[in-house]
Structure 1
Amino acid sequence: MKQALILLNMGGPNNVDEVEMFLRNMFADKNILPVNRYLRTLIGNIIVRKRLNEVKENFTEYLGGKSPLPELTDRLIKKLETKLDMPIVAAMRYVPPFATPSLERFQSEGVEELILFPMYPQYSTTTTLSSVEDIEARCAELNYAPKITVIDPYYDDIDYIKNSAAKIMQALGGRASEEYDLLLSAHGLPMSIIKAGDPYEKQIEAN
């Protein structure tokens, strides 16, 4: 069976002009704003109008006008290509590269199984589910029916934890623990989503 690997992520704006696209697509996502689409459009427009200039300013000041995510993802793909004998692409949720061009390619090449690798260690309806549903919807639009396999959450995988810890230690450069404060941060979710059964909070706490 011919396979392809797709790395799933929400994406990061490639430039300042894509900031608005990112925000509009994010707030149009039913898994981000779980209300009817008319109300979601209204709320999304209000949020974008209110926050756009501030987000653009912060994006320019703190990230230099470009998200590091696209470059980091490309580097990861190049490393994976040395280990895996299959096509490997990224599919971002809110800014390019979107899924459709790669799916059109895989369909024409006769790829029978798509292995979806969420770049989110913890599962959430707002991230993993949103990205997987996007792939399924784009496949349906193309009348493309490959087998779809989704990699399980890996927040508690010992190799993932060890690698994360090693990266932290490398960044610290051998400094004594008294010389720094280590702050671990995670995205927050509305309590309504957590109360509806989203496992993200518990999985964050677990590792």
Structure 2
Amino acid sequence: MAKVGVVLLNLGGPERIQDVGPFLYNLFADPEIIRLPNPALQKPLAWLISSLRAGKSQAAYRSIGGGSPLRRITEQQARELQSNLRQRGIEATSYVAMRYWHPFTESAVADIKADGIDEVVVLPLYPHFSISTSGSSFRELQRLRQSDPAFARLPIRCIRSYYDDPGYVGAMAELIAREIRACPNPAEAHVFFSAHGVPKSYVEEAGDPYQREIETCAQLIMDKLAQDLGHPNPFTLAYQSRVGPVEWLKP
């Protein structure tokens, strides 16, 4: 039986307060996060932004316990996915590949080669595709394949997005329905979706499907809620986390 490596892609996050500055630098040094006409400016700008934002970001991380829980949660997901696949008779081993903090993608690739994996399936933990999230991680994997003949020989399949998968939509609807039923007037409960934004130019000029996938997903979830609850609910979709002077998705 083939040994399958399942790579879970995620953003990564600083686990300690002293990691915040270097994490922000790695984030903004990625040209898919901030696109500049002159690549030589990327690292100086990343240093400037990370230096200016470090204090505010450190305060935010202190408010949630001193660091990001993302690695712990992602590694738990990886273990449970691996267990589930093995119960189904698939010889699978899961790996976590963070884009901007440990464990980095290079570490996952090294473990895949050491374990003698025969083929690789790549699962982004971003349900909606964007050039700045899944796209950036896919490109990092491609860069490593181009520089590593042993890794390049492994068959690899990438799950692009799953924003409209019935299982995902149903899981989101189930979580929301639980809260709607707890409201004094369930039929009047207003559902508010908050999605991480991207620069408007990504959508209009680079063809990023992110906005379309987010909006379609929100509507599919609301349709499933109406079906499960027996009544429609009002909802709003908004975007957050703007960076820099360029226009980002609204509202």
TM-score, length basis structure 1: 0.91
> Matched residues in 2 for 1:29 and 1:159: separation?
32
Q: Which residue of 2 aligns with 1:2?
A: 3
Distance in 1, matches of 2:67 and 2:188, equals: 31
Tell me the residue number matched to 1:90.
Answer: 96
When structure 1 is superposed on structure 2, of 64-73 and 139-148 the one drifting more is 139-148
**Which residue in the other structure is 2:119 paired with?**
113
- Which amino acid in the other structure matches residue 7 of structure 2? I
Instruction: Mark the runs of 5 or more structure 2 residues left unpaired by the alignment.
Output: 86-90, 218-251
* Equivalent residue, structure 1, for 2:216: 206
2:24 aligns to what? 23
Distance in 2 between residues matched to 1:172 and 1:22, nearest whole Å? 37
Q: 1:118 and 1:50, CA in 2 relative to 1: closer, same or farther beyond 3 A?
A: same
Partner residue, 2:192: 183
Partner letter of residue 161 of structure 1?
A: V
Aligned counterpart in structure 2 of residue 47 of structure 1, from 38, 46, 49: 49
Quote how far apart the aligned CAs of 1:141 are: 3.3
Unaligned stretches of 5+ residues in structure 1: none
The verdict on how the C-alpha distance between 1:96 and 1:171 changes in structure 2, with shifts beyond 3 A counting, is farther
* Percent of aligned pairs sharing the same letter: 32
Asked whether the equivalents of residues 134 and 160 of structure 2 are also in contact (C-alpha less than 8 Å), the reply is no
Deviations 1:23-55 (A, max 9, x none): 111111121122233111122122112111111
8 A contact 1:11–1:70 mirrored in 2? yes
Instruction: Indicate conservation of the 8 Å contact 2:21/2:51, yes or no.
Output: no
Measured on the aligned residues, the alpha-carbon RMSD in Å equals: 1.9
Secondary structure (helix, strand or coil) at the match of 1:75 reads helix
Q: Does structure 1 residue 123 correspond to structure 2 residue 129?
A: yes
CA–CA separation in structure 1 for the residues paired with 2:156 and 2:212: 26
Pairs within 5 Å for 1:56-71: 56-61=58-63, 63-71=64-72
Matched, 1:38 2:40: yes
- In the aligned structure 1, how far is the partner of 2:181 from the partner of 2:55? 37
The 3-state SS of whatever aligns with 2:182 is coil
Q: Deviations over 1:104-123 (max 9, x none)?
A: 12223332321100111111
| More RCO (CA 8 Å, sep 6+) | 1
SS of equivalent residue, structure 1 residue 185: strand
* Of 72-81 and 191-200, the range deviating more from structure 2: 72-81
* Amino acid paired to 1:186: A
Contact 1:21-1:94 within 8 A present in 2 as well: no
Give TM-score scaled by structure 2 length. 0.76
1:171, CA displacement in angstroms? 4.9
Give me the whole-angstrom Cα distance separating, in 2, the residues matched to 1:26 and 1:8. 15
- The structure number with the bigger radius of gyration is 2
CA change 1:53–1:107 in 2 (3 A) is same
Correspondence 1:115-194 to 2 at 5 A: 115-143=121-149, 144-145=151-152, 146-171=154-179, 174-176=182-184, 177=186, 181-194=190-203
Q: CA offset at residue 206 of structure 1?
A: 0.6
Contact 2:97–2:107 (CA under 8 A) maintained in structure 1:
no
CA distance in 1, matches of 2:180, 2:14: 29
